[in-house]
Copies of this chain bind each other. A is one copy, B any other.
Amino acid sequence: MVNDKLLHPESIAVIGASNNTMKPGGKLVKNLVDHPFRGKLYVVNPKSKEIQGIPAFSTVEDLPSVDLAILAIPAPFCLHAVEVLVAQKNTKAVIIISAGFGETSEEGKKLEQQIAQVANRFGACLIGPNCIGVMTPHHASVFTTPIPPLVPGGCDFISGSGATAVFIMESGIPKGIRFANVFSVGNSAQTGVEDVLAYLDETYKPGVSSRVKLLYIENIDNPDKLLFHASSLVRKGCKIAAIKAGSSSAGSRAASSHTGALTSSDAAVEALFRKAGIVRCYGREELTTVAGVFMCKELKGKNLAIITHAGGPGVMLTDALEDGGLHIPQIPDSPAKQSLKEKLFEGSSVENPIDFLATGTAEQLGDIVDACENDFDVDGMAVIFGSPGLFPIRDVYELLNEKMKSCRKPVYPILPSIINVKEDVSYFLSHGNVNFPDEVLLGRALTKVIHTPAPATSGSFMEGIDLKAIRAIIEQAKEGYQPPGIIHQLFDAAGIPRVKEIVVTSETEAVLSSLNIGFPVVMKVVGPVHKTDVGGVILNIRNVAQVRKEFHHLKEIKGAEGVMVAQMASGTELFLGAKYEQDFGHVVLCGLGGIYVEVLKDVASGLAPLSLEEAGSMLRQLKSYKILKGYRKQEGVNIPQFAEIIVRLSNLLRHATEIKEIDINPLLGNETEILAVDARVRVGKSSNEYS
């Protein structure tokens, strides 16, 4: 639980403060002093009267009342200190930076749990242990550097790893990324990444709180909480980018060996992020580049102007953006274009990229930006301006700084000359701007942002789903793979259309069933396992005479217990399945069946429950979507019905979490209807059922 005392304390005490700034307890005090905290700062050290010029208390007991305490003392002493603080000093927020807890041993794990219990009992927030601390615009309570610029409009950043948080800031600072609140949650004894995000959501004030949230996550403990608050923040207008490390199986092993945490399946993470509207990143450079995009004004369309004084980077950026589905539209002829052209040097190009040559001036850049802002049909601009090192280009960056502020459209600055005009770039960043030193990395980040869907809307409810029946079937179902009868009942209760199948034992029943189902039908022997091997499947039966004949034929097969008469379905083979992931719930996968799933791995995933909109978006994501729609002479499938079946399945699963795996394979579909032909359903009821 995060609270306001953590973010806006009026007093801070550092327990284990030191004069040695090469030690965490020393560096922490130095950071608090160097990045002034305006409240009262207390320090506790049993041996020194004074720490870095601040009079020291000998023990925690000696302290006056204090809002926030930061512990940099050995693990075994922490429990007592926290007890004293929360019980006697009215301390409502505690950060434990000390290591030696759950990350090293079982006893350490127990110790941190005890501390969390104490904090919980007194309604105090506990951050850590084993973390680098917390930074806000009010206080820099971390033992590490660098301390980035801390301003209310910067990024909120929550990290599951302290060292990685440092490295991410090292990557962001040179790009001008500024921060608001930085949380390193360490072992998350009480407060995890999701909890901090929940607090940021619950206390979100439009126009006051930071619009940008960055997350580094090694393990998602509470996917529902993350989904709920991330979606809520994005709906409020926030932008969220996150790294979830451990996407490969070897990466998961690495994450596990490091944090001792179980790592969640990557498909579930992928589905969760899409559903929440989180931009998924895979590295630090990518995360801080996306953060830079977020710090700029919002891009509200896909058309960009590229303004450059050098050809090469303009071409490479064009390639990256077009490759990612954005457009660099040619600027059509107009008086505005003509008038701009006249303001530029001969040889300049007012196509797109707009190239105003190596000799281009600040004034010309201003004219171009104004034309893009007011006259040209583009949604944003990327401005590339470096220097061969002959002279300073301060005037250009002054102009660009002004335009960054005054334009309604986003302007993405690409200032590649981080050596030649280092000072000019620093000047530009010091005015609160970001820089993208590499245009292609910017292009890929922009692409990633533009392709992240909005958070899913709710509304997965669908008529004709009999929840009571579903629960009754599931409660009576045995563990393991389910027989066809149970599967039929489940599908019927959820309104999932399936081929009609009737098991019969007499010739008359067979004939009546076939008439009921309608020709052509399939007849199968019931009893033998490998039906086709014993000639027990007869396709395409077209009349009553054939039914009579085949009934007798099938009944004579060894082990025959009966005969099944089934509807003969045909059409394109589809795939729909789901897997229950511990904590995440059901990850639903869909696609075209056969080789599309098995060889080409062309599958879309979503996290149940799914809305019709989400199901539609999953289908559109498929590479084979064109085939679903009907390609050339090949008939397509009823896509709205496929989406509806996906939603129905996700409704069924939502109320039957005992279903651990389900494969509907195949569904057969054509333009009029889609029918489930065969399915495998595994039910697991024990609590230690593997997921």
Give A residues with C-beta under 8 Å from B. 21-24, 27, 99, 103-104, 132, 143-146, 160-164, 166-167, 170-171, 173-174, 216, 218, 243, 245-251, 253-255, 257-259, 282-286, 306, 309-316, 318-320, 322-323, 327-328, 330, 346-347, 349, 351-353, 355, 358, 386, 388-391, 416-420, 437-441, 443, 595, 598-600, 602, 623-624, 626-627, 631-632, 634
Contact = CB atoms under 8 A, between A and B. Distances in A.
Nearest to A173: B419
Nearest to A266: B319
Contact of A389 (B144, B253, B626): B144
Given A251-B318, A282-B440, A164 B389 contact: no
Contacts of A313: 163-164, 167, 284
A250 B311 contact: no
Contacts of A23: 390
Contact of A245 (B104, B253, B315, B346): B315
B318 A250 contact: yes
A439 B283 contact: yes
28 contacts: A22-B390, A27-B389, A103-B347, A104-B347, A144-B389, A144-B420, A145-B420, A146-B420, A160-B312, A166-B389, A166-B420, A167-B417, A170-B386, A170-B420, A170-B437, A171-B437, A218-B315, A245-B315, A246-B319, A250-B328, A251-B322, A254-B318, A258-B311, A258-B312, A283-B439, A284-B440, A285-B438, A599-B624
Given A351-B253, A390-B23, A167 B283 contact: no
B389 A328 contact: no
Given A23-B390, A440-B283, A218 B171 contact: no
Given A164-B311, A245-B319, A320-B282, A600 B600 contact: yes
Nearest to A330: B253
Copies of this chain: 2
B254 A440 contact: no
A292 to B, nearest CB: 14
Given A144-B388, A146-B389, A315-B251, A310 B438 contact: no
Given A311-B258, A316-B282, A600-B600, A327 B250 contact: yes
A465 to B, nearest CB: 34
A283 B312 CA distance: 10
Contacts of A595: 624, 626-627, 631, 634
Contact of A283 (B171, B254, B355, B438): B438
A21 B257 CA distance: 57
Contacts of A388: 132, 143-145, 162-163, 166
Given A285-B438, A599-B627, 17 more contacts: A144-B420, A145-B388, A170-B420, A174-B419, A218-B315, A245-B315, A250-B319, A250-B322, A251-B315, A254-B315, A254-B328, A254-B353, A255-B311, A258-B312, A283-B320, A595-B631, A600-B624
B440 A312 contact: no
Contacts of A391: 22
Contacts of A216: 312
Contacts of A347: 103-104
B173 A319 contact: no
B254 A390 contact: no
A132 B420 CA distance: 15
A97 to B, nearest CB: 11
Contacts of A22: 390-391
A311 B216 CA distance: 12
A467 to B, nearest CB: 39
A318 B598 CA distance: 25
A322 B245 CA distance: 13
A379 B626 CA distance: 44
Contacts of A322: 248-251
A318 B248 contact: yes
B311 A259 contact: yes
A243 B160 CA distance: 37
A390 B143 contact: yes
A312 B218 contact: yes
Contacts of A284: 313, 316, 416, 438-440
A161 to B, nearest CB: 4
A414 to B, nearest CB: 9
